[in-house]
A = this chain, B = another copy of it.
Amino acid sequence: MARSAGVSKSTVSRAIDGEPKVRAEVAERIRQAVRELGYVPNQAARSLVTRRNNAVAVVVTEPQNRLFVDPYLDCHLRGIRQELVRRGAQPVLLFIEDPEDCPRVGEFLGGGHVDGALLFSLRTDDPLPSMVERIGLPAVFGGRPADGSGHHHRSHTYVDADNPGGAREAVRHLLGLGRRRIATITGPLNQAAAIDRLDGYRDVLPDAAPALVAEADFTLRGGADAMAALLDRCPDLDAVFVASDLMASGALRTLRKRGRRVPDAVAVIGFDDLPTIAEATDPPLTTVHQDVEEMGRLMARLLFEPRPDAPWTDPGDAALPIVVTATELVVREPA
């Protein structure tokens, strides 16, 4: 390639880099040769010396069947993608559907294929946080990495909504409406978001009966089943705070089936404010809004921020590693 344009490879390299110190005439000659030979620079060789490869991994831990049905991730990924692309990085998605996928993905992340990683939906027992730390790969987490296992690793950079705050606001709103038997449907309690939202509920209702709390799995079906269980256990409940819109829409379905009028008999508040769900339910769902897309953008931005663990950063100018975004109650059903 180099000789084919009658110059040295350094010049080719510079020309492709778009450096200004190349004579226009020479640059043109090179561009021509590139086109003719269909030459594409070998990224492996390049990244071997530059230590960069303009790609960022987005790791999603989720059984695929849930992933492809949950609009939450869709929003999040949209924000991430947008910001990553804006900075010239190619987002590459890696799925972990099974714990046994972890070592392979860890190897990929450690193999220098990517400049950083954005990780999601972590469970308390997830090995990924310690993996990226060992590897020394810059990483930003979506949602507080719940570290229930007692391992102590360096505090990770993450973006999360104010889950306890949002939950408190929701429950207080229900109290303000005069509701007195307020139940809650939680997500899987091995996920931080689920734990934090339940904590918010308990902050306001420290004496709530255990029977008023039902754990589900952030799916529509799970929400519907949990609602049924709650109605069986506490037929007199008059409100329910549901930890996600998807589950809330399942709960609404159950309530309708059981003949409980919403919001007259039972008031429902969701969490997320996903347009495709919250605005489409009947009646439209009152819910705790979080700007999921913006959170995605923030994650990507934080990855490029000066950070102690990034190779392209002067160590010393550390940035604050945690961003908690505000939530806001959106009242849709005038109850």
Residues of B within 8 A of A47 (CB): 44
Indicate if A41 sits at the interface (CB-CB under 8 A): yes
Q: Is the interface of A mostly helix, strand, loop or mixed?
A: helix
Shortest Cβ distance from A51 into B: residue: B44
Can you give 14 contacting A-B residue pairs, CB < 8 Å? Answer: A40-B112, A41-B111, A42-B112, A43-B108, A43-B111, A44-B47, A44-B53, A64-B74, A64-B81, A81-B97, A90-B105, A90-B107, A92-B108, A93-B93
Residues of B within 8 A of A71 (CB): 68-69
Shortest Cβ distance from A57 into B: residue: B92
Within 8 A of B (CB), among A99-147: 101, 104-108, 110-113, 134-136
Q: Answer whether A55 and B112 are a contact pair too, CB < 8 Å, given A69-B69, A92-B92, A93-B93.
A: no
Establish whether residues A95 and B68, one from each chain, have CB atoms under 8 Å apart when the complex forms: no
Residues of B within 8 A of A77 (CB): 64
Interface string of A21-65 (1 = CB under 8 A from B): 000000000000000001011111111100001010000000011
Indicate if A229 sits at the interface (CB-CB under 8 A): no
What is the CA–CA distance of A200 and B78 in the complex, to the nearest angstrom?
37
On chain A, the number of residues with a Cβ less than 8 Å from chain B's Cβ atoms is 45
Nearest 7 A/B pairs, CB to CB: A40-B110, A43-B111, A93-B93, A38-B134, A68-B74, A92-B92, A44-B44
Residues of B within 8 A of A74 (CB): 64-65, 67-69
Residues of B within 8 A of A319 (CB): none
Indicate if A70 sits at the interface (CB-CB under 8 A): yes
Establish whether residues B40 and A48, one from each chain, have CB atoms under 8 Å apart when the complex forms: no
What is the CA–CA distance of A64 and B38 in the complex, to the nearest angstrom?
29
Establish whether residues A40 and B135, one from each chain, have CB atoms under 8 Å apart when the complex forms: yes
Interface string of A302-318 (1 = CB under 8 A from B): 00000000000000000
Establish whether residues B112 and A44, one from each chain, have CB atoms under 8 Å apart when the complex forms: yes
Residues of B within 8 A of A85 (CB): 101, 104
Indicate if A266 sits at the interface (CB-CB under 8 A): no
Interface string of A129-173 (1 = CB under 8 A from B): 000001110000000000000000000000000000000000000
Establish whether residues B90 and A93, one from each chain, have CB atoms under 8 Å apart when the complex forms: no
Shortest Cβ distance from A35 into B: residue: B134
What is the CA–CA distance of A163 and B117 in the complex, to the nearest angstrom?
40
Residues of B within 8 A of A204 (CB): none
What is the CA–CA distance of A55 and B136 in the complex, to the nearest angstrom?
21
Residues of B within 8 A of A38 (CB): 134-136
